[in-house]
């Protein structure tokens, strides 16, 4: 008699007991949920599994998503919510059409309103159906525009790599431009000043640098997820917008990663989206 | 055939993805249930894992790895969910034993109850390790790969989980031996 083998057998039998068929509703509900779930681009992989759970577990409490349709003037015109200095298209974004179609989510006139209450300063934004929600959680709104990935992050939840791979991660520095100019991952263009919802911020576009043998790594973490730097970013361009909050609270970091060929169109659409942002609290 | 479905699903074909998971739902549910020991929670975890898999499928580099990748995802979601549950529930709740009697006299109802109690006291990762070993049939090397831990760590954790389960049985048996009364 071998006690270990007997114990193994005992456990084998114990584990064999129990239900072995999933209820049909499991697959049906998954089929229903993925209808509203976009796929993440391959270059944007989660760095912690926990973030995945939070998408479904916390999102409902974190973010109040109100889908409204063009013609419902929930927010009305937002003359103070412009995105200055981005591109001519920013000011030329069309007004919503009065057409309403609750089921036509691909209707370009369909507008979704997100009231993100779990940001330091709650904010509201509107996006049209060319953007698809990918990940909405505490302090993050992640939307996809074709192969373009865009995240709006609470600055308080963002950390960036230190000077070397072994240095600790750091909060978003006051001089973000100096930080990015010192990063080996990027070749940035000249920064520009932008205005979003009455706040002044810094926009900087950059190309990726990738050399054979470079190790892939995160280049920005936002508490429950990260933006990944790897060879799949070659041929992409990235836009950062750093928007400080009043008195250092409620700042935003916007990151958009787009294939170079799509960048201009995505940037135009991003301008229109950012122009709809309104903060719940006074910004000044 | 499945490789084609995986590749189609990775390109956004929802019907292909539903076909894929329909064929795997039973087995994955059984794994989730063995870790979580609760039908509702196993269903919830499986649903979450399958939605996450859809969302991240484009990141799967090798379609032939789909089954292993999906299984690992389910296990990890279960570990996270079980960890969260342990933080929320102070007192362990032992569910009544249901279902048919054990097919082998070795596994009496009393022993099943003892195993159940001992298992529920284990940390979630040890539960997952035991499930992967005794239910899925993984070796310690495969467990290491699934959980992203070194093989030596997987071996020692499997050993510790066995020891904990054995201790649970012995602890439950001890009062009878000493006091002569049923636990």
CATH number at residue B113: 1.10.10.10
Q: Which residues of A touch B14 (CB under 8 A)?
A: 31, 34-35
The answer to whether residues B73 and B133 belong to one domain is: no
Positive or negative, the CA dihedral B53, B55, B60, B63 is positive
What's the domain range around B20?
Answer: 1-90
The answer to whether residues B59 and B118 belong to one domain is: no
The answer to whether residues B70 and B130 belong to one domain is: no
CA distance A234 to A214: 12
Q: Quote the percentage of chain A above a pLDDT of 90.
A: 33
Q: Which band of pLDDT confidence, cut at 50, 70 and 90, is reported for residue B97?
A: very low
pTM of the full structure:
0.48
Residues A109-122: tens digit of each pLDDT? 678 888 888 888 88
The answer to whether residues B72 and B101 belong to one domain is: no
The answer to whether residues B132 and B153 belong to one domain is: yes
A41 part of contact set with chain B, CB < 8 Å: yes
Residues A1-21: tens digit of each pLDDT? 466 677 888 899 899 988 889
CA distance A92 to A212: 42
pLDDT at B134 (0 to 100): 93
The answer to whether residues B60 and B6 belong to one domain is: yes
CA distance B37 to A34: 26
HSE of A133, CA atoms in CB hemisphere, 13 A: 25
The answer to whether residues B111 and B132 belong to one domain is: yes
Residues A122-172: tens digit of each pLDDT? 899 999 888 988 777 788 888 888 878 899 999 999 999 988 777 888 999
Section A29-54 average pLDDT: 63
ipTM comes to 0.81
Residue ranges and CATH numbers for the domains of chain A are 41-279 (3.40.1000.10)
Residues B101-150: tens digit of each pLDDT? 444 555 677 788 888 888 888 888 889 999 999 999 988 888 888 887 78
The answer to whether residues B3 and B85 belong to one domain is: yes
Optimal mutation site among B9, B26, B119, interface A, most CBs of chain A within 10 A = B26
Q: Which band of pLDDT confidence, cut at 50, 70 and 90, is reported for residue B174?
A: low
CA distance B40 to A231: 41
Q: Decide which of B90, B125, B159 is a domain's last residue.
A: B90
Residues A178-198: tens digit of each pLDDT? 999 999 889 999 999 999 999
Optimal mutation site among A34, A56, A226, interface B, most CBs of chain B within 10 A = A34
Q: Which band of pLDDT confidence, cut at 50, 70 and 90, is reported for residue B154?
A: confident
The answer to whether residues B171 and B141 belong to one domain is: yes
CA distance B168 to A267: 60
Q: Which residues of B touch A27 (CB under 8 A)?
A: 18, 21-22, 25, 50
The answer to whether residues B67 and B41 belong to one domain is: yes
> Mean pLDDT for chain A?
75
**CATH code at B50?**
1.10.1740.10
The answer to whether residues B27 and B15 belong to one domain is: yes
- The number of domains in chain B is 2
pLDDT at B106 (0 to 100): 58
Place of tokens 């006091």: B179
């Amino acid at each position: 008699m071998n006690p270990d083998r007997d114990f193994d057998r005992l456990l084998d039998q114990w584990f064999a007991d129990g239900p072995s068929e999933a209820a049909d509703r499991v697959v049906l509900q998954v089929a229903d949920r993925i209808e509203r779930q976009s796929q993440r681009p391959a270059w944007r992989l989660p760095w912690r599994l926990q973030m995945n759970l939070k998408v479904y577990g916390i999102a409902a409490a974190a973010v109040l998503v109100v889908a409204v349709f063009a013609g419902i003037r929930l927010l009305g015109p937002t003359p103070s919510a412009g995105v200055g200095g981005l591109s001519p298209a920013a000011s030329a974004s069309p007004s919503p059409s009065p057409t309403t179609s609750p089921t036509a989510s691909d209707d370009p006139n369909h507008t979704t309103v997100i009231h993100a209450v779990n940001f330091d300063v709650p904010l509201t934004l509107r996006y049209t159906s060319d953007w698809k929600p990918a990940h909405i959680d505490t302090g993050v709104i992640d939307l996809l525009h074709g192969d373009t990935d865009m995240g709006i992050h609470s600055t308080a939840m963002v950390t960036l790599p230190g000077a070397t791979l072994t240095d600790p991660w750091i909060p978003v520095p006051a001089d973000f431009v100096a930080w990015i100019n010192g990063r080996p991952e990027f070749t940035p263009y000249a920064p520009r000043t932008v205005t979003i919802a009455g706040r002044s911020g810094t926009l900087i576009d950059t190309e990726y640098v990738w050399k054979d043998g470079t190790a892939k790594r995160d280049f920005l973490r936002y508490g429950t997820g990260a933006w990944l730097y790897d060879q799949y970013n070659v041929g992409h361009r990235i836009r950062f917008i750093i928007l400080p909050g009043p008195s250092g609270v409620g700042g935003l970091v916007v990151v958009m990663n787009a294939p170079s060929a799509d960048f201009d169109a995505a940037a135009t659409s991003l301008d229109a989206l950012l122009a709809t942002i309104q903060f719940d609290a006074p910004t000044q | 055939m499945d490789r084609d479905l995986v590749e189609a699903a990775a390109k956004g074909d929802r019907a292909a993805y539903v076909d894929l998971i329909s064929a795997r739902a039973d087995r994955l549910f059984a794994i989730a249930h063995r870790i979580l020991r609760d039908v509702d929670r196993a269903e919830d975890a499986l649903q979450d894992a399958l939605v996450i898999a859809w969302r991240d499928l484009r990141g799967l580099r090798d379609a032939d790895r789909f089954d292993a990748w999906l299984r690992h995802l389910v296990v990890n979601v279960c570990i996270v969910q079980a960890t969260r549950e342990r933080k929320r529930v102070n007192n362990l709740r032992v569910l009544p034993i249901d279902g048919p009697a054990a097919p082998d006299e070795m596994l009496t109802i009393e022993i099943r109850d003892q195993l159940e109690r001992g298992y529920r006291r284990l940390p979630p990762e040890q539960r997952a390790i035991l499930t992967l070993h005794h239910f899925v049939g993984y070796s310690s090397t495969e467990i290491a790969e699934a959980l992203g831990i070194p093989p030596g760590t997987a071996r020692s954790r499997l050993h510790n989980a066995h020891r904990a389960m054995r201790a649970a049985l012995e602890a439950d048996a001890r009062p009878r031996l000493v006091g002569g009364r049923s636990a």
